[in-house]
Structure formats: structure tokens, C-alpha cells
Amino acid sequence: MKKISTYLIMAVVAGSLLTGFWIYQRYVKAPDTSNLTFAAERKDIRETIKARGEVVSQKDFDLQFPVSGTVSAIYVKEGDIVSAGTPLAKLDTTELELSLNKLLSHAALKDVAVAEASLANAEASLTAAKGALLNTLNDGYFRIDDAIRKETDVLFTNPRVIPTFNYQVGANSSSLKNIVESERQKLEETLVKFKTALDAVNVLVSSDLSAADVLAREALNLTNSLLQNLATIANDTTSLASYRDMISTARTSINLATANLTSADGAFFAAKTSLDLAQKTLDLKRAAVESEAADIGIARDKIAKSTLFAPTASRVTKMWLERQEAAQPGVNAISLSAVGYKIQSDISELDIGKITAGSAGNEVQIELDAFPGKSFKGKVVSIDPQPVLKDTDKYYRTNVFFDGSEETKSVEIRSGMSADIKILAESHKNVVVIPEIAMFKSGGESFVNVETTKGPVQTKIVTGISDGENIEVLSGLEGGETLVVSS
């Protein structure tokens, strides 16, 4: 009885200690407030689609050409046993190869060089035309200054301030006295503006000449009108007979300046139009180069897809096409029967578009639950066309064949074994990558906490592909940042 009491006391004490430890851990001990940190790094990432699957016996499967064409060669016959990667049949690629060779001659690139030379010539022509126009503008100013200020201004008092015509005019031209005084005053104002605009463009030759050109045209028109009215007055006034030749000479000079300006304006406009055309031509040729590069990729892709290869070791059971027959995508070309096992996995419709089946199928990493620590390789061979419904979600049954390597042969694979598969999809090189654990969602957008001298700062990011553990950052981070995650 005494021994039972001792045991009872020891049990009560142990229970009290456990209860006290639990209370300490739950209510007394301070929570761990330390943070985890991760680095945003630039490196390569390959999108990985993870799924569960099950090993089943391999069955017959059909191969189709992914592109249309005419069968030019068949390398196997029914009953042949072929290894993985063996070419089975080929479409005629003569036209594709001719097109590719033409593209590889880089005619578009040569056209760009010609267009660049034409643009350089157009730029030189515009520079010369602009220089000639500037010289014409300066010549026009000097001709106006000579004709008015140095010659006909003798007919006025205070010609540059408040012009007053000095002579009595004939009866037939009496109304012109006030007109020439007004024209002379307005011409002076225009000449001052013209000279200011000229000084600006003469200092900086790259400046726009349009303002000076407009003022030159205005000054020449005013000068021409003034000289014409002065000629009328002189012809009607005997006392001004001695000035008639001077006025006539001045008019001839101004008419020449006007003609020169019209010619220079025309040449400048033509040169500018030629430059614009040369630039547009160059833009089109450069666009053609980009298109050419895309066409080269398309041609190479079609040539590569014009040959069917055995995706795995198998037996040829049926040849559906013969030489010179037309092949179409989705139409069976060759049927094979593989010996061994495959993995069937249901892939969400959200990911199925990232997967390619057949001889160019995605590589797959396989881990079987029955063989922990071992990894096997495989390839996506086919995808069932009809979806599998799970609740309201759609999945597509995907067939993965083992690659037949020594690693696969070293174990006894059986039907019904469970597997984890990683389908390797699109890869991006030298991009910003962060652990997915460092990212959080809010309002349908992605964010990270970036460490700064003032503490963590919430930063919005846009993400790209994921390998299941890490994720690509398209914008928001440059790489090198430290990310903070509360533990």
C-alpha cells in the first residue's frame, strides 16, 4: 500500500511539472520576434510543374506530325524495334530550307545598310540646304538694309523712329505720302525683329530657321511695297527725278533677294522631305530585319518538327502514311507500342498549355515513393485530348515515359507505385529570383518587405515563372535587395 502511495505521489508531481512547463511555453515565455531574411538574386530559373502520379503499364500510342507537309522519307517498317530518339519519318523540307537559306543571306540587313547610307546622305543634304537658306536669309537682310537704310532713307527725316517724307509729292501720288511713312515705320520694326532672329540662328546653327524665314519674307514684302510706292512718287515728282535710278536699283536687288529666298525655301523643304522619307524607309527596313529574325526561327522550328523521332524504346505497330502522302497535324502518322511502364498524372488546365508532348516533349524529373533518395528521368509523350473533371476543375491526363537509363533499370518498378513528378517547362536566364516564401499577397497583388536603413518597406512586385520554390520577379526589384520575413 505504501509503494502504491509513492507511485501516486510521483505521478502527481510529474503531471504538475508537465502542466507548469506547458503554461510557461504557452503564456509566460516571450514569443520569438526575430525575422528571416532572404536575398533577391539574379540567376537562371526554370518553371516547374509539380504533380502526383501513378505508375501504370505502357500501352500503344500514336505519333502525329505537328506541321503539315508531304512525307519524303520513311526510315522504319512495321515490326521494327527502335530506341529512344530514332528518326521514324520525315516531311519534305526543300522549300523550307530554300526559304531559310534566303533568310540567312540577310538581305533585309543589307537593305538596312543601304537605308542608313541614304539617311546619312539626306542628313548631309538637309544640313547643306539649311546652310544655304541661312546664307540667303543673311543676304536678304543685308540687301534690305542697303536698299532702305543706306539708300532711300535720304528721302525721310527720322526714318528709324518717326519717318517723315521730306518732299512735296505730285498730285497723282499725294495719297502715297502717308502710306510710305507708315510702311517705313513698320519695316523698321520688322527689320529689328529679323536681325534678332538672325543673330540667334547665326550663333547656334542647329536652331530652327522658321521664325527668321517668316520675318525675312515679311520684311522683303514690306520693302518691295515701299520701293514700289517710292518709285510711283518719284516718277510723279520732278524734284525726285535724280532718285529714280537709285530706287530702281534697290527694287532689282530686293526682287533678287525674294527669288533667292523662294529657291532656298524650296530646296530646304525638299531636303527635309527627303530626310523624313529616308528615316521612314530605314524604320521599315529595321522592322524587316526583326521580322526576318522571327521568320528564321519559324523556319528552323518547322524543319525541326518535320522529322518524327521515337520518344522511347518501342515497337512500330502501324505505319499510317506512305511516301508522297500528305500529313496533317492531329492525324496519326505512326503507331508505337512501348514495353515497360509509364506514369500517368493529371495536370490542371492552368498548366497544360505550358507542356509539349511527343518527340519534343518536356523533360520530367521523377521520384518514386518506393525508392526514396532516387531520382529518375522521363519525357512527356502524350496528353489525353479529353479533360478529367475533379469537382468543377478540369485536368488533362498526361503520360510520362521513363527514359530507359541504367538508373531506371537498376530498380524493379511496379504498377501502382506513387510518384512525384516535376515537369520542366520554360526557362529564363539571368533574371531576378526570390524564394516564394518571401512574397505575400494583398488585394490580388504581390508584395515583399525590402530591408532599408529605416526598416522594412513594403514593395509591390510583378512575378513571372516559378520552379515551385523560387519565383521570377519581372518588376519591382533589381536584384541584390534583402527581403525580410517575420518568423
Amino acid 62: pLDDT: 85
By the 8 A CB rule, do 394 and 349 touch?
yes
Residue 423: strand pairing partners: 49, 364
Report the largest interatomic distance among the alpha carbons of the chain, rounded to a whole angstrom. Answer: 161
Which cell numbers in the block locate residue 32? 520569438
| pTM of structure | 0.46
Lowest mean pLDDT segment, chosen from 1-15, 45-59, 205-219, 293-307: 1-15
Residues with Cβ < 8 Å from 463, sequence gap 6 or more? 439, 446, 471, 472, 473, 474
C-alpha to C-alpha distances, 274 to 106, 210, 253, 277, 283, nearest whole angstrom: 26, 18, 32, 5, 14
Which cell numbers in the block locate residue 367? 521520384
Give the side-chain half-sphere CA count within 13 A for 387. Answer: 13
**Whole-number Å distance between alpha carbons of 79 and 93:** 27
- Per-residue pLDDT band for 1 (boundaries 50, 70, 90) equals very low
**Whole-number Å distance between alpha carbons of 229 and 180:** 7
**What value does the mean pLDDT take over residues 195-222?**
88
**Whole-number Å distance between alpha carbons of 270 and 213:** 16
- Per-residue pLDDT band for 149 (boundaries 50, 70, 90) equals very high
Domain ranges in the chain?
2-30, 109-292
**What value does the mean pLDDT take over residues 159-179?**
88
Whether pLDDT at 417 is above 60:
yes
Most confident of the following: 107-121, 318-332, 397-411: 318-332
By the 8 A CB rule, do 407 and 391 touch?
no
DSSP 30: P
Amino acid 229: pLDDT: 94
106: left (phi over 0), alpha (psi -120 to 50) or beta: left
**Whole-number Å distance between alpha carbons of 134 and 359:** 70
